[in-house]
Structure 1
């Protein structure tokens, strides 16, 4: 296996090295992209592969120029890599979008940034860093996702409207009920009819995924003078 070790330890850029590095970056970027694609994220398999291969190609070019052209012997191979690190943020930002007060796509944006780092590592011939880094990244994206779901309750922001047939609102009873279901109130707005015979509470709440919605409605309806309850879609 000495020939294989020599092949992967070679620093001179030639056609064989270019092929090996681009192929490896395609595989490693594909592993991470596959995980994102399986979760129906905006940046999936092809996007991650192209980012990883593009970063690898830029790193290869950075090394190749001072290696090949005599006039650029003092060139810095890290300059193009630095531009990749800063420039990839614009692409990652495109994966982040906001639904009301909910932010989506942060993890995918992070994988876009880190897969570019993997591509640069492969392009520079630091194969061990690229392989170990890919393994740790997949561990974070798969195993730690299960840990998060088990120990951390996911929630969404929703609008809750509670209608009363009186001007007097049982706010303490409402907050006590929400508290029992671990629902946090973000904002509160109280509206009252002109004849002061009806009123309405509009709340923006953090709504846990595992909330027993049927039981929540049942307990809210036991509060005095409640006539209607409406829970809106995610923000």
Structure 2
């Protein structure tokens, strides 16, 4: 049976609400794909599924070959470009993987809504919300007790500066993962890059203040 116009509107509204639930959670954590992105994504996926169902009935009536799953399959594979756009690299840290997977999963939730599986879609969305919010707290408290930070420092070169910077970072970090210093001979500038692992509760303000107290340091960037 073809999906009626009333059912289409209802399914689009349900899809938009479910997408908004996950999008709101992502928005609260300042992720690149937030409320609007998730809502529009699920609306589009819902429409694609409805179109697949209705076209399947139309072609079946006219005895023409048509695979109703073809459009849905294209949504699942095509969502990859949105997921890739949500993944960002900050120095040696990669962020956005969770948001990319939430986009992909919500696209499938939209397909499920479009096919009329309301209860399954609601349960899947609730489960995702629990994974994103509850497990995020558990991870930060018990699993991910430290985080890697990428530090960049621009300074005017002077003797002993590199050693001082290394010692300050080492004193504040749990572990130094890498340290690199590049000197520009022409203008006597120094560019330092360091990757270190810090405890989640380590106040970076103290590290920044200590680094700025070093004579010659002009700028500090921590990611």
The answer as to whether partners of 2:152 and 2:191 remain within 8 angstroms in 1 is: no
Matched, 1:25 2:15: yes
Question: Is 1:134 aligned with 2:125?
Answer: yes
Q: What secondary structure, in the 3-state scheme, does the structure 2 residue paired with 1:210 have?
A: coil
Counterpart Cα distance in 2 of 1:219 and 1:58? 56
> After the TM superposition, which residues 3-18 of structure 1 pair with which residues of structure 2 at under 5 Å, given as runs?
12-18=2-8
Q: CA deviation at 1:102?
A: 2.6
CA drift of 1:95 comes to 1.8
Paired with 1:211 and 1:231, the residues of 2 have a C-alpha distance of 21
- 1:125 deviates by 1.6
Change (3 A) 1:215 1:124: closer
Name 2:88's counterpart in structure 1.
97
The residue aligned with 1:182 is 174
Task: Report the 3-state secondary structure (helix = DSSP H, G, I; strand = E; otherwise coil) of the residue aligned with 1:57.
Answer: helix
User: Separation in 2 of the partners of 1:204 and 1:232?
Assistant: 11
Inter-partner Cα distance in structure 1 for 2:208 and 2:41 = 48
Mark the runs of 5 or more structure 1 residues left unpaired by the alignment: 1-10, 194-199, 221-225
TM-score scaled by structure 2? 0.76
Superposition RMSD on alpha carbons, in Å? 3.6
C-alpha spacing 1:184/1:67, structure 2 compared with 1 (3 Å): same
Q: Distance in 2 between the 1:97 and 1:41 partners?
A: 10
Pair 1:205–1:161, CA change in 2 (3 A): farther
Partner of 2:32 in structure 1?
A: 42
Q: 2: CA distance between counterparts of 1:38 and 1:129?
A: 25
- SS of 2:99's equivalent in the other structure is helix
- Alpha carbons 1:118, 1:130 under 8 Å: kept: yes
Distance 2:32 2:141 in 1: 25
**Which ranges of structure 2 fall in alignment gaps of 5 or more residues?**
none
Distance in 2 between the 1:68 and 1:117 partners? 23
- 1:22, distance to aligned residue in structure 2 (A): 1.1
Pair 1:233-2:216 in alignment: no
**Distance (Å, rounded) in 2 between the aligned partners of 1:90 and 1:233:** 30
Matched, 1:55 2:45: yes
Give the distance between the partners of 1:133 and 1:62, measured in 2 at CA. 22
Matching residue of 2:137: 146
Post-superposition Cα deviations, 1:183-226, rounded to whole Å, max 9, x if no partner, equal: 222244486x9xxxxxx894512242433568779999xxxxx9
The number of residues matched between the two structures is: 216
1:122–1:72 CA distance, 2 compared to 1 (3 A)? farther
2: distance between equivalents of 1:22 and 1:92?
Answer: 22
Q: Provide closer, same or farther for how the CA distance between residues 107 and 214 of structure 1 changes in structure 2, counting only shifts above 3 A.
A: closer
